[in-house]
Amino acid sequence: MKRTDQERLARELGRTEKKLRLAEKRTAGQDPVSAGAYSKRLAGLLMSDGQQIYNIDNDDGVLEVLMEMREQLSDKELVVALRRAIKMTKVPDIETPLDEMMALVAE
């Protein structure tokens, strides 16, 4: 077997091992710890009519996610994640729900 063939096989083996490692990481069921993952999770819980978000202070799921975000993320990442979640709901006024969420997190 030629050296180039051996190198090619080694590269292919490395790629398959890397794919397996990444697949194991994804299926490990770990809780999201990035700002993007939290914002997607929060946006899925928020209920709005396109003008206003209604369940910020009275939904236990939203409060739970907000408390997790406060523990896991820095202040800057928290604000970024909240803004992103509000933008995903396509509400025109971003500041009002952001202020409400920040007040809940500060408690």
pLDDT digits (tens, 9 = 90+) for 18-38: 888 887 777 666 655 788 888
DSSP element (H, E) containing 80: helix 75-88
Query: Do residues 97 and 46 share a domain?
Result: yes
Mean pLDDT, rounded, for 60-80: 88
For residues 24 and 40, membership in a common domain is answered with no
The pTM of the full predicted model, rounded to 2 decimals, is: 0.67
Alpha carbon 41 to chain centroid, angstroms: 6
**Based on the domain organization, do 79 and 92 belong to the same domain?**
yes
Task: Reply yes or no on whether the pLDDT at 83 is more than 90.
Answer: yes
Query: 104: pLDDT confidence band, cut at 50, 70 and 90?
Result: confident
On whether the CB atoms of residues 53 and 47 are closer than 8 A, the answer is yes
Same domain, 50 and 99: yes
Under 8 Å between Cβ of 66 and 105: yes
Number of structural domains found in the chain:
2
Is residue 47 located within the same domain as residue 64? yes
Q: Which residues form the domain of 15? A: 1-30
